[in-house]
Amino acid sequence: MEFKEIEKKVSELVPSECKLTKVECEGLDVVVYLGDIRAFYQNDQLIRKLAGSLRKRVLIRSDPASLRPPEESLKAIQQIIPADAKVNDIRFIPEFCEVMIEALKPGLVIGKGGSTLKSIIEQTGWAPQVVRQPTMASSTIKGVRSTFHKDAAARKKFLNTLGRKICSNLPKSDYVKVTALGGFREVGRSCSLVETPNSRILIDCGINPDTSEPTKAYPYLSAMNLELEKIDAVVLTHAHLDHCGFVPYLYAYGYDGPVYCTPPTRDLAVLLQMDYINLASRNSGSAPYGIKDIQKQLSHMITFDYGEVMDITPEVKLTFYNAGHILGSAQVHLHIGDGLHNMVFSGDLKYGFTRLFDQSATQFPRVETLFVESTYGGRADVQPNRYDTDKRLTDMASQVLARRGKLLIPVFSVGRSQEIMLVLEEYFSRHPEMNYPVYIDGMVLEASAIHTAYPEYLRHNIQRRILSNDSPFESKIFIPAKGDRKEIAEGDPAIILAPSGMMTGGPVLDYLRLIAEDPKNALFFVGYQSTLSLGRKIQRGLKEVPMMGEDGRSNSLKINMEVDTVEGFSGHSDRNQLINYVKSVRPSPERVFTVHGDETKCDDLARSLSKICNVEARAPMDLDSIRLK
């Protein structure tokens, strides 16, 4: 719908007593400014009529001239909100006529049926935006929210420009094609380009963290002669670096458009990208972008929740669906043109039980083409059930602790670390005699804090515990590793959770140096180890590994410790789950493309899906272009 038509519909629907002063397209939203906002809220059906007529998300704001001064409004808001809400911060953002309210119990700020919010709007004019305070301190969330406050003027200008662009008129497209720019027949640097005559959309833009060689580490953007300023949007499935790690590079070299994702993905992406820069500098290298590029990316990120249908170009509607992989992970559904084509990118998905998340969604409005991950798509990739997996981990951990050893578990800061924490927290609560510490190192604590800010994305029982001030991530068994790691390594028996999950860098390598040569100790792998990673080499039985010593020289480290793998904790679906997922997708897709897996696994899963699901399925290669319509 063009902007002029939007203005006309709004002016027809808004009563004259509301004193309509301005209509704006602001990013994905239509913003209606009123001189008398009280009159608007006297009719509870008005907002529904507007949203239904425009088929867009509608925001109602007071005209700037009718806002009460911030000082007066602050006092009024403090009187309106009950003390039990435990408000942590209140910030006024004049550029958007909004007030951001951060509270530990946002439900009390909202009130029954939104009654408290309505009171704030009517008494102050400011439009309240309520956000949840994490139960654990999070420097990432604090930084993200501060950035939106500081960069409000620039963000407002960007959103208005984008909104006008989305609400423009374009000729009808007659084809859709997808080009594989990374992550096809490989794991890492996931990136796909969706094109029509009018739109160019990148689905993910990641790196391969296992290598610094540009031809293998980054997507094939240059091979396409892709002009970054002509990309309309970047859509992120989730925050792992192999899916989001190259996005700031786009901003460093000319991209100025939006990045769409869920709110948790935004926060986690910033956390992991910042760590990537720090890790690269510590390893005497450099990332392909800097902190300023991450900050620019952040100011261009637009978030919305699962199930919301949003226009991201004049002809493309985007909807996120739960993928069950990590916090905020999403499957991407694109509806292109007036029914021209519908496709789903699964991203990384889990169609099975985890303690953290509900399993991935399988119901979509329409699906002609499905791109599905194949990380564990090989014939032998069948994981044990979770009950056996949990028991095996705790039994093996008990044996290591009983012999006075240290158990080192390499974990991904986001996802597997929280899953393992839940297993250990439950086990130790049932066995109070197991009075051993679990040290949490690296970004695991920060990532866990972000989980507490978004309980609605977690399984209901975990959500309930966080809302009841009983977060499992804050159990007394978990101790932040803030001191000398050597003291932990030489101290009493303990479990150590440390990133990185593939042992390509991070705190886990420090612990490995300190405890690897003692046979009492153990190293347990609980997640995927890519082909080039140090973790895969040790997992396969390598007994000596080169390690950089404190003197800067390369030394040989003997692996005398017990090494084992506990299958079943992966956030990826195994072969059977992947097949069941594709069989369960409704409506059934006409064609399936397997991605994000080693070459043999992508090929094997594609052949199996063709036979079992009676669907056209194949495994494209990087740089393949596929016409879908």
The pLDDT tens digits of the residues spanning 150-175 come to: 999 999 999 999 999 999 988 999 99
The residue from 524, 548, 565 where one domain ends is 565
The pLDDT tens digits of the residues spanning 422-448 come to: 999 999 999 999 889 999 998 999 999
Q: How many CB atoms lie within 10 A of CB 59?
A: 18
Radius of gyration of the chain (CA): 25
Q: Are 258 and 216 in a shared domain? A: yes
Alpha carbon 189 to chain centroid, angstroms: 16
The pLDDT tens digits of the residues spanning 574-599 come to: 999 999 999 999 999 999 999 999 99
Q: How far is CA 304 from CA 221, 312, 357, in A?
A: 27, 12, 18
Q: Are 430 and 576 in a shared domain? A: no
Q: How far is CA 170 from CA 1, 500, 627, in A?
A: 10, 46, 21
Is 9 within a domain?
no
The answer to whether 343 and 371 have CB atoms below 8 angstroms apart is yes
Is 135 within a domain?
no
Whichever domain contains 195, its CATH number is 3.60.15.10
Q: Are 483 and 596 in a shared domain? A: no
* Strands (DSSP E) found in 227-323: 233-235, 259-261, 301-303, 309-313, 316-322
Q: Are 497 and 623 in a shared domain? A: no
Predicted local distance difference test score (pLDDT) of residue 421: 97
- Residue 593 makes CB contacts below 8 A (sequence gap 6+) with 369, 370, 371, 372, 606, 617, 618, 619, 620, 626
The answer to whether 48 and 76 have CB atoms below 8 angstroms apart is no
Which tokens belong to 598? 């080693």
Q: In total, how many domains does the chain have?
A: 2
The pLDDT tens digits of the residues spanning 135-152 come to: 999 999 999 999 999 999
Asked if the model's pLDDT at residue 281 lies above 80, the reply is: no
Helical axes 291-299 vs 263-282, angle rounded to 10°: 170
* Residue of higher predicted confidence among 346 and 209: 346
Q: How far is CA 528 from CA 118, 122, 355, 509, in A?
A: 49, 53, 18, 17
Q: Are 319 and 336 in a shared domain? A: yes
Predicted local distance difference test score (pLDDT) of residue 549: 65
As a whole-number percent, the residues of the chain with pLDDT over 70 amount to 99
Is 601 within a domain?
yes
358, 363, 364, 370: CA torsion to nearest 10:
80
Asked if the model's pLDDT at residue 38 lies above 90, the reply is: yes
Q: Are 482 and 614 in a shared domain? A: no
Compute the average pLDDT of residues 617-628.
96
Predicted local distance difference test score (pLDDT) of residue 412: 87
Q: Which of 95-109, 225-239, 256-270, 540-554 has the lowest mean pLDDT?
A: 540-554
Is 456 within a domain?
yes
Q: Are 320 and 404 in a shared domain? A: no
Compute the average pLDDT of residues 536-553.
82
Compute the average pLDDT of residues 30-53.
93
The pLDDT tens digits of the residues spanning 231-250 come to: 999 999 999 999 999 999 99
Predicted local distance difference test score (pLDDT) of residue 375: 95
Nearest Cα to 372, choosing from 200, 183, 623? Answer: 183
Q: Is 317 exposed, middle or buried (0-12, 13-18, 19+ CB in 10 A)?
A: middle
The residue from 525, 547, 565 where one domain ends is 565
Average pLDDT across the chain, whole number: 94
Predicted local distance difference test score (pLDDT) of residue 284: 61
Predicted local distance difference test score (pLDDT) of residue 529: 83
Q: Are 510 and 589 in a shared domain? A: no
User: Which residue intervals of 255-352 are DSSP H helices?
Assistant: 263-282, 291-299
Is 24 within a domain?
no
Compute the average pLDDT of residues 194-218.
91
595: left (phi over 0), alpha (psi -120 to 50) or beta: beta
The answer to whether 578 and 354 have CB atoms below 8 angstroms apart is no
Task: Specify the pTM.
Answer: 0.94
Q: Are 177 and 209 in a shared domain? A: yes
Which tokens belong to 322? 């739960």
Q: How far is CA 176 from CA 80, 87, 196, 199, 232, in A?
A: 52, 48, 5, 9, 15
Whichever domain contains 401, its CATH number is 3.40.50.10890
Dihedral sign of CA atoms 599, 605, 608, 610 in order:
negative
Helical axes 152-166 vs 291-299, angle rounded to 10°: 50
What is the distance between the alpha carbons of residues 282 and 147, in angstroms, rounded to a whole number? 26
DSSP bridge partners of 496: 408, 439
Compute the average pLDDT of residues 470-493.
93
Is 280 within a domain?
yes
Amino acid letter, residue 248: P
The pLDDT tens digits of the residues spanning 388-431 come to: 999 999 999 999 999 999 999 999 889 889 999 999 999 999 99
Q: Is 586 exposed, middle or buried (0-12, 13-18, 19+ CB in 10 A)?
A: exposed
Q: Are 548 and 579 in a shared domain? A: no
Is 148 within a domain?
no
Q: Are 320 and 435 in a shared domain? A: no
* Residue of higher predicted confidence among 81 and 529: 81
What is the distance between the alpha carbons of residues 323 and 237, in angstroms, rounded to a whole number? 9
Domain extent at residue 462: 387-565
What is the distance between the alpha carbons of residues 403 and 521, in angstroms, rounded to a whole number? 9
Is 67 within a domain?
no
Q: Are 345 and 450 in a shared domain? A: no
Predicted local distance difference test score (pLDDT) of residue 222: 86
The residue from 565, 593, 608 where one domain ends is 565
What element of type H or E holds 446?
helix 444-453
Nearest Cα to 299, choosing from 132, 139, 156? Answer: 156
